[in-house]
Chains A and B, each alone.
Chain A
Amino acid sequence: MADLTRKYDVLVVGGGNAALCAAISARRAGASVLVLEAATKFYRGGNTRHTRNMRCAHDAATKELTGPYTEEEFFDDLLRVTGGNTDEPLARHMIHESKAMLGWIAEQGVRFQPSLGGTLSLGRTNSFFLGGGRAMLNALYRTAEALGVAVEYEAEVVELDIADGMFLSATAQRANGERATVRAGALVAACGGFEANIEWMKQYWGAPADNFLIRGTPHNRGTVLKLLLDKGVGEIGDPTQCHAVAIDARAPKYDGGIITRLDCVVFGIVVNKHAQRFYDEGEDVWPKRYAIWGRLVAGQPDQIAYIIFDASSLTMFMPSLFPPIEAQSIGELAGKFSLDPATLEKTVAEFNAAVRPGTFDHTILDDCRTEGITPPKTHWARRIEKPPFYAYPVRPGITFTYLGTRVNKEARMLMKDGRPSANMFAAGEIMAGNVLGRGYAAGIGMTIGSVFGRIAGREAAGNARN
């Protein structure tokens, strides 16, 4: 149990990658540090638990990375995925700092491995944590605690005392029902977005948000984000936007993580509850197609859709948690989801009739396409004709939100009038929107967390001592 009655130099709110990097870096800079984590010890670390790699620039191949990844190439990738929706000086600063990050993270006890099964396309750009995100977190916690960082679990910050952009104290709701008010010289907010706050999501999405599944922690309710924005901190990122992918509809409401993802859209067709197709399943290659289908399904009635494919594709993609539903005929398959059998048979028949001959290759934009139907399937179109037939039900799976607090290169929060805060810093998902205004590139969330976490901790420690 941490001592919550004394005053700390730095208070870190949150318990994931960004929070722990901030805590370690502040402690190494000589500050006394308290971490308040809302979750229990097992669930500590928010969405970091579900990550597996980070994207850092590097000039040469390493033991784990197959080749160089320059700052320029990293920035080009960022421009591409965000469509230019990024703060260029801040992004370039982060990318430059990411170079030193691989070494720094390893010094904190985190171990890397070469990319192996299913992720070979990232082997040059992304560094994979040995054992995944929870292994990374465990190492950071061990290091932080060995350094003397105080950590309190099941302590959700529900109130902030801020006067004119200056943090004074935070009030935490604890497991025993009591509240504790903690004073500190500086604040680092590293406690994620608000995707797990369905009521908040409904402000933008309406009733359909009730059918969203949250892929990560149920603790990202945005409580601290809202408090900060209400108390004058500048806002960044489109509040209505979130990163959504199509995941298995049978996944739990929260915390299903990576294993409920489905990347088999290209191998079949996708229909809605009326057994109608609604989008070109062959539009683009991974990862772009991966990131659009959550939004597409969110736009369909009851936010449900079905990926339909046949026996010829069954083993062509990564297995996932739930087996596909199987049937000997399309009509029988429809019956298993209360889709109208006649309509689904008609949809499949029309699709099959429209498929033109081609050479199938799911690793490139191949020449297998349809002709004469709307929407078309522009690549990887093959007839669905070989029983047994299969289907996965899918729903939108929300990964993170883009709304955040504005920061500068010191990870210092900027108030609505543009003035820097006296002693408040932010790192990780809560400020990711500064760099990642939309879209996503694998591992970039962890880069934002580590780089700005390390900066925030260092700056907060310097701030608190002055």
Chain B
Amino acid sequence: MHGTKILAEADRLMVVCNSCRYCEGLCAVFPAMEMRRVFPDGDLNYLANLCHGCGACYDDCQFSPPHEFDVDVPRVFAQVRGDSYRAYAWPAALSGLFARNGLAVAIIVALCVAAFVIGFVAFNDPAAVFARGGGPGSFYALMPHNAMVLIFGAAFIYAIVALVLSARNFWRDIGDPTAKGPYPWLKAMHDAFTLHYLDGGGEGCMNDEESRADHRRLYHHFTFYGFLLCFAATCVATLDHYLLAREAPYAWYNLPVILGTLGGIGLVIGPAGLLVEKFRRDPALTDEARLGMDTAFIAMLLLSGLTGLALLVLRDTAAMGMLLAVHLGVVFALFLTLPYGKFVHGLYRFLALVRYAAERRAMAGGHSE
């Protein structure tokens, strides 16, 4: 009846939870569950991706292990989510990258960094690579701007296409005809940008049974907004380049540098904090098999932030050439691996929130709340 054993287990849990409903005030998952009496695989994938893994329901549950009903929604949903990333990946031939994801990402990063280092040395006079940097155009002396745009543009477009097609697979599976008009999308954006449901019902995430704290939400905000700021820095720099004919590197007070610096700081504090929280977390709540995937993506973001900040600080020294190669290699690998790693959680969770907002509106009789 179910595609996998873990989906069958998720179904069993939803039957238990639907006959209890004590957790309905904690997050979106349980109200969404209450709209159903049976749970086909598409709905379970929807509910699992709607779950933010805050852990509050496990802490509150009178039936969690060692009780014989063995209810552990955060862990089982983490496993279902992990499987769903693989099931929806485009192209399906690359879905294997989700297995042993940490190793796969590490190899891709190493290859990308090596390619940029070797490329810099091969295409340039070695002396130029290790010359003191600084001044407008010094990056492009090592790699022509058009080459950079071409390579990164291609990687970026590939990532977008793969992500959109993966998202389409997910949306078709959880398929919801009620998500019409702007309301569900705006509501979902609000819930995603605030991480509304990562608050454990108001008191913060449950890390262990002694304490509650919202550290994970805070660090995720650092990470997410850091990522957005870095992305904005790149966009502004591209406009500067083409519209104003101004060449990087820019002085510290220029907008791309300010955005990139703030973003880089976010991408160091956020991922570092998330890593700490990940290893502090009660193992009962996590899908240990996916630890590699989770840490790989966090490590990639941390590396992007660290190498970017190092490049900013040391761009006037002889280390600039190598740092640029390493930073570009890391960012290139980040783009390539986006559709095949933990990044997709944001996409699917956002779509799950869209469906949830639409369902709630439909239940309320067509009026937005």
Contact across chains for A130 and B19 when beta carbons are under 8 A apart: no
Enumerate chain A residues within 8 angstroms of B288, measured Cβ to Cβ: none
204-233 of chain B: CB within 8 A of chain A: 209-211
Enumerate chain B residues within 8 angstroms of A315, measured Cβ to Cβ: 37
Contact across chains for B60 and A111 when beta carbons are under 8 A apart: no
* Cross-interface CB contact of B25 among A131, A252, A257, A319, cutoff 8 Å: A131
Contact across chains for B18 and A113 when beta carbons are under 8 A apart: no
Given known contacts A117-B21, A117-B34, A118-B21, A132 and B15 CB-to-CB distance under 8 angstroms: no
Taken residue by residue from 13 to 41, chain B's Cβ proximity to chain A (1 for < 8 Å, 0 otherwise) reads as 00110111111111000010010010000
Interface residues of A (CB under 8 A from B): 42, 49-50, 52, 111, 113-114, 116-118, 128-135, 138, 142, 252, 255, 257-260, 315, 318-321, 323
Any chain A CB within 8 A of the CB of B201? yes
> In chain B, what residue has the closest Cβ to A112?
B25
Contact across chains for B201 and A131 when beta carbons are under 8 A apart: yes
Interface residues of B (CB under 8 A from A): 15-16, 18-26, 31, 34, 37, 56-57, 59-63, 66-69, 201-203, 209-211
Q: How far is the CA of A142 from the CA of B209 in the complex (A)?
A: 9
* Cross-interface CB contact of A116 among B18, B25, B203, cutoff 8 Å: B25
Enumerate chain B residues within 8 angstroms of A116, measured Cβ to Cβ: 21, 24-25, 31, 34
> In chain B, what residue has the closest Cβ to A119?
B21
Contact across chains for A142 and B210 when beta carbons are under 8 A apart: yes
Q: How far is the CA of A315 from the CA of B68 in the complex (A)?
A: 27
9 residue pairs of the A-B complex, CB under 8 angstroms, read A52-B22, A111-B201, A113-B201, A130-B201, A132-B62, A134-B61, A135-B22, A135-B59, A321-B19
Contact across chains for B22 and A133 when beta carbons are under 8 A apart: yes
Enumerate chain B residues within 8 angstroms of A52, measured Cβ to Cβ: 22
* Cross-interface CB contact of B19 among A128, A135, A252, A320, cutoff 8 Å: A320
Contact across chains for B60 and A132 when beta carbons are under 8 A apart: yes
Contact across chains for A138 and B209 when beta carbons are under 8 A apart: yes
Q: How far is the CB of A52 from chain B (nearest CB, A)?
A: 5
Most buried by A among B22, B26, B34, B59: B22
Enumerate chain A residues within 8 angstroms of B201, measured Cβ to Cβ: 111, 113, 130-131
Chain A interface main SS type: loop
Contact across chains for B24 and A138 when beta carbons are under 8 A apart: no
> In chain B, what residue has the closest Cβ to A255?
B67
Q: How far is the CA of A129 from the CA of B61 in the complex (A)?
A: 12
Q: How far is the CA of A118 from the CA of B37 in the complex (A)?
A: 14
Q: How far is the CA of A291 from the CA of B160 in the complex (A)?
A: 59
Enumerate chain A residues within 8 angstroms of B19, measured Cβ to Cβ: 258-260, 318-321
Enumerate chain A residues within 8 angstroms of B16, measured Cβ to Cβ: 259, 321
Q: How far is the CA of A336 from the CA of B197 in the complex (A)?
A: 45
Enumerate chain A residues within 8 angstroms of B62, measured Cβ to Cβ: 49-50, 132-134, 257
Q: How far is the CA of A118 from the CA of B19 in the complex (A)?
A: 10
> In chain B, what residue has the closest Cβ to A252?
B68
Given contact pairs A131-B201, A259-B69, a sample of 6 additional A-B residue pairs in the complex whose CB atoms are under 8 Å apart: A133-B62, A259-B16, A260-B19, A319-B37, A321-B19, A321-B69
Most buried by A among B19, B24, B26, B62: B62
Q: How far is the CA of A42 from the CA of B72 in the complex (A)?
A: 14
Contact across chains for B60 and A138 when beta carbons are under 8 A apart: yes
* Cross-interface CB contact of B203 among A111, A257, A318, cutoff 8 Å: A111
> In chain B, what residue has the closest Cβ to A314?
B37
Q: How far is the CA of A321 from the CA of B69 in the complex (A)?
A: 10
